[in-house]
Structure 1
Amino acid sequence: MSDWIQIKIRTTSKNADTIAALLEQLGSLAVTYSDAEDSPILEPLPGERRLWPNTDVTGLFDKGTDDKAIVNSLKQILGDHVPVMSVNLEDRDWIRAWMDSFKPLKFGKKLWICPTWCKVPDSDAVTVMLDPGLAFGTGTHPTTSLCLEWLDGLNLLDKTVLDYGCGSGILAIAALKLGAKEAYGVDIDPQALEASEENAKRNGVLDKLTLCDGKKSSSVLTPAPVTVANILCGPLAELEPHIAKLTAQGGMLALSGILTEQAPEIIDAYSKDFNMALSREKDGWALITGQKK
């Protein structure tokens, strides 16, 4: 089996495309972008592409490539201060390796998120079958985990649940599997709504899920007794009037996608319509929960 060579450059979102083009000119067979510092970004609008503030750009080169010469060329062009790293990459069955890296995950007492090629080691589990994708949540991020654990701890029997910013539909589907009679999935990204529909179909709950464009949701949906929104601090603050309108009086609300230090800002933004408090923290991320007044 042959090896490959990876050359990775840490840069900014502004310069990432220029670096990628430079790697291709130097003979890279493929170029990938990845988050350099675990920085959250908003889902892109249709036709839009967003990168992380600090982005790693990685070029893949054939084994016979003179990586030292490429690194020297990059430093001459970009300057010695730019971090450039070269590593050998073992050739292997990458699809199998990727699949093996994902295992069933448990959230709370009974809820599991499981890739379709795995089996949950619990005969009494409430299971959501969901394959990892590039753009939307699968439960591995702390904010999604916090929301799933919150849902697992509620009595959702015969309740309607609103998943605002549904992405993959993971929270809405989990709520339905946990006993909710129906769920709303709201997102501004058509690709998210398509992913939610496909995942709901795979889990046999599509007939109980109503999907809606976020720009039209207030005129289409009725207020829900349980609302969960896993987005980011800025959009959450701006969406307070909209989310309040879509949450029934006395309804339960959970918000995540918020850094712990941002929690006071969100609590303040929602205090007009909700009694809110910091509920839990995980790896620097917060879950804020409360009840509509």
Structure 2
Amino acid sequence: MPFLELSLPCTEVQQPRYERALESVGALAVTLADAHADAPDEQAIFEPGVGETPLWNELVLTALFEAGTPRELLLYALAAADEDLDWSRATFRDVEDQDWERAWMDQYEPLQFGRRTWIVPWNQELPPGADADDAAVVRLDPGLAFGSGTHPTTALCLQWLDGLADEGVLRDARVLDFGCGSGILALAALKLGAAQAVGVDNDPQALTATLGNAERNDVADRLQAYAPETEPADTYPVVVANILASALVSLADTLAARVAPGGRIAMSGILAGQEDEVIARYSADFESLQAHRLEDWMRVTGVRRR
């Protein structure tokens, strides 16, 4: 099914009004992009912190409408929806529909982390030579949520969980996945022997993806997902938090309170060079703090003081 695409440059301040106007005249979807994505000094936004929705100062706002929508009439309706907005820089193009998620999955190959953990697209099998009897297989359909195993921060956390399983730490344990994205870390923990897992994320789409992936992996009865404001306060022997370093620092008291005495924590989403600040912030509550690097990203692990 083809669509009519409208694109318009705007500022962060103007964006909410433009978006409301587009939605009021029937936009099927509205997306935002950095207007200066190719600039060498532009700051990337890898993943928003809990409760945050950061935007660039200058944006390109794109909206999809049904194919055949009259362009001049659409502009007239938009001008009537908010008379103070400038629609003169709006451009249009016809676009063909594509199942972007399925196209992405077709290019995604099974990945191994540690000794046993495999992340496999839901429509593929383990590669030849893999030990299917011993493998902990997560079948993933991540959709639009962060966390497919391909990012170094996710890989670092999966390797850590696989190592905990070899130590016997995960056996029958309860695991908290804070910033769960697609639920990949919670699902891996369950496949590696954990009894229960809880995922927490500030993105409703991530919670939907997590619960959908739990169904796909036949562990829906052992995985719960919550927004931060509805998460039940509890302690866990294993906590993993794959969020940004700034969020890890600001949430240190919250995360420390979630780890049971003697429990383990792994934190990622930390760029190389940021690990010292994270270690310093957690040193009062955790011992044996160590940093591990993969490409430009770090993982910090520790044990909760008793």
TM-score, reference length from structure 2: 0.68
CA contact (8 A) 1:218 1:246 kept: no
CA contact (8 A) 1:107 1:145 kept: no
CA contact (8 A) 1:6 1:86 kept: yes
Report which stretch shifted further, 2-11 or 196-205: 2-11
Specify the code of the residue in structure 2 equivalent to 1:278. A
**Cα distance in 2, alignment partners of residues 114 and 56 from structure 1:** 34
Aligned match for 1:163, one of 156, 172, 177 = 177
Aligned to 1:41: 48
1:151 aligns with 2:151: no
Aligned to 1:127: 137
Aligned to 2:62: 58
What is the CA distance between 1:269 and its match in structure 2? 0.9
Aligned to 1:106: 111
Q: Which runs of 5+ in 1 are unaligned?
A: 71-76
CA contact (8 A) 2:110 2:121 kept: no
Q: Which runs of 5+ in 2 are unaligned?
A: 38-43, 76-85
What is the CA distance between 1:8 and its match in structure 2? 4.9
Aligned to 1:199: 213
The verdict on how the C-alpha distance between 1:3 and 1:195 changes in structure 2, with shifts beyond 3 A counting, is closer
The verdict on how the C-alpha distance between 1:52 and 1:281 changes in structure 2, with shifts beyond 3 A counting, is farther
Specify the code of the residue in structure 2 equivalent to 1:184. V
What is the CA distance between 1:253 and its match in structure 2? 1.4
Aligned to 1:254: 266
Superposition RMSD in Å: 4.0
**Cα distance in 1, alignment partners of residues 91 and 152 from structure 2:** 29
Aligned to 1:280: 293
User: Alignment length, in residue pairs?
Assistant: 272
What is the CA distance between 1:99 and its match in structure 2? 0.9
1:176 aligns with 2:185: no
Report which stretch shifted further, 188-197 or 116-125: 188-197
Tell me the SS of whatever aligns to 1:56: strand
**Cα distance in 1, alignment partners of residues 224 and 274 from structure 2:** 31
Aligned to 2:255: 243
The verdict on how the C-alpha distance between 1:255 and 1:197 changes in structure 2, with shifts beyond 3 A counting, is same
1:227 aligns with 2:239: yes
CA contact (8 A) 2:266 2:299 kept: yes
What is the CA distance between 1:23 and its match in structure 2? 8.1
**Cα distance in 2, alignment partners of residues 143 and 13 from structure 1:** 29
The verdict on how the C-alpha distance between 1:144 and 1:56 changes in structure 2, with shifts beyond 3 A counting, is farther
CA contact (8 A) 1:165 1:230 kept: yes
**Cα distance in 2, alignment partners of residues 212 and 64 from structure 1:** 39
What is the CA distance between 1:168 and its match in structure 2? 2.9
CA contact (8 A) 1:250 1:291 kept: yes
Specify the code of the residue in structure 2 equivalent to 1:276. L
CA contact (8 A) 1:162 1:172 kept: yes
Report which stretch shifted further, 203-212 or 165-174: 203-212
The verdict on how the C-alpha distance between 1:14 and 1:153 changes in structure 2, with shifts beyond 3 A counting, is farther
